[in-house]
Structure 1
Amino acid sequence: MSRYETRLEDYRRRERPSYRVFEGLQELVRSVGQLHNNWLYVNVDQWDQDPVYTPIYYWDEHWLEECAEEGTAVTNEQDEYIPKWVPDRQVQTWFELATFESIVGVLKAAGQPVTLQMVIMAVKYYDKRDAYLDYEEVKAVTDLWSVLTKVRNHLT
């Protein structure tokens, strides 16, 4: 199968819901490869404080435009449309789903188990530096953090 045929097959098999709400990062990670590419929205400040349990929103751009035309959308501080039913007006564009999937894909390319903590670290790194962390880089940092935590706990 050619690369073009593979990409076309991937495009056709993905779901195209108008919207979806992920109750946390783990739920989003489980959906990798299942949805058509659209923007992900999140309250960035809340995500920085609690990346595991912050709701993440997936909204189809055309659906958002229709909501705006129907009057069922409002604008946030960035002048982006968000549905009226979202209680948090601080929600804003975060990543394209394809970018998020690439971040996770780079980690999974090593063929090793990927933890949620590793995904968080890689996403935050990408957000700040517009660059990917591979599995070995993330593993080295998590191992160092584990050692430092053990030393701190031993000293106290």
Structure 2
Amino acid sequence: MECFKHLDELIRRIEKMEWNEWIYTNLSAFQRDPLYNVYYIISEEECWDLEEAGQTMKNHCDEAIPASIADREVQSWLEIATVQDVIDVVRRRGEEPDILLIAKALRYYHEQDAFME
């Protein structure tokens, strides 16, 4: 499991990550402040291994998550590929986006299930 304590940390590494992994976060905290929120990447294989070892719990969405982060009220947020796509769409505007614009575009995508144009 990888943990990122700031959106900028996650975005700097996003291009090097497996595209089909899910990012987990506390959505209430994300709505309050997407920049200083904690993001987790938990591979399916890791979840399976933890589940076999009895080290997972079900969250409020009935998703198996590591017991070590169960108190943080995390749930699946977006796939890495989706975050990469959101950033690519913003980049097509012609300039390198700053972290505030990326945060706004990610929030828009999560709420609207559409890219911010």
How far apart are the structure 2 equivalents of 1:101 and 1:88? 28
CA deviations over 1:123-148 (Å, ceiling 9, x no partner): 111112111123xxxxxxxxxxxxxx
Question: Could you tell me whether the CA contact under 8 Å between 1:43 and 1:88 is conserved in 2?
Answer: no
Q: TM-score, normalised by structure 2?
A: 0.92
For 1:71, what is the secondary structure of its paired residue? Answer: coil
How far apart are the structure 2 equivalents of 1:42 and 1:73? 16
Q: What residue in structure 1 maps to residue 79 of structure 2?
A: 96
For 2:14, what is the secondary structure of its paired residue? Answer: coil
2:10 paired with 1:31: no
Q: CA deviation at 1:89?
A: 4.0
1:121 to 87, 104, 108: 104
Q: What residue in structure 2 maps to residue 47 of structure 1?
A: 30
Q: CA deviation at 1:46?
A: 0.7
CA deviations over 1:6-55 (Å, ceiling 9, x no partner): xxxxxxxxxxxxx2111110011101210112000000001100111110
Structure 2 counterparts to residues 11-90 of structure 1, below 5 A = 19-37=1-19, 38-86=21-69, 88-90=71-73
Amino acid in structure 1 at the alignment position of 2:59: N
Amino acid in structure 1 at the alignment position of 2:111: K
How far apart are the structure 2 equivalents of 1:130 and 1:61? 23
Greater Rg, structure 1 or structure 2? 1
2:116 paired with 1:133: yes
For 1:53, what is the secondary structure of its paired residue? Answer: coil
Task: Name the stretch that deviates more: 40-49 or 121-130.
Answer: 121-130
Q: CA deviation at 1:103?
A: 0.4
Runs (5+) with no aligned partner, structure 1: 1-18, 135-156
Question: Could you tell me whether the CA contact under 8 Å between 1:24 and 1:54 is conserved in 2?
Answer: yes
Cα RMSD for the two superposed structures: 1.3
Amino acid in structure 2 at the alignment position of 1:79: D
Q: What residue in structure 2 maps to residue 7 of structure 1?
A: none
For 2:2, what is the secondary structure of its paired residue? Answer: strand
Q: CA deviation at 1:71?
A: 0.8
Q: CA deviation at 1:87?
A: 5.4
How far apart are the structure 2 equivalents of 1:111 and 1:22? 28
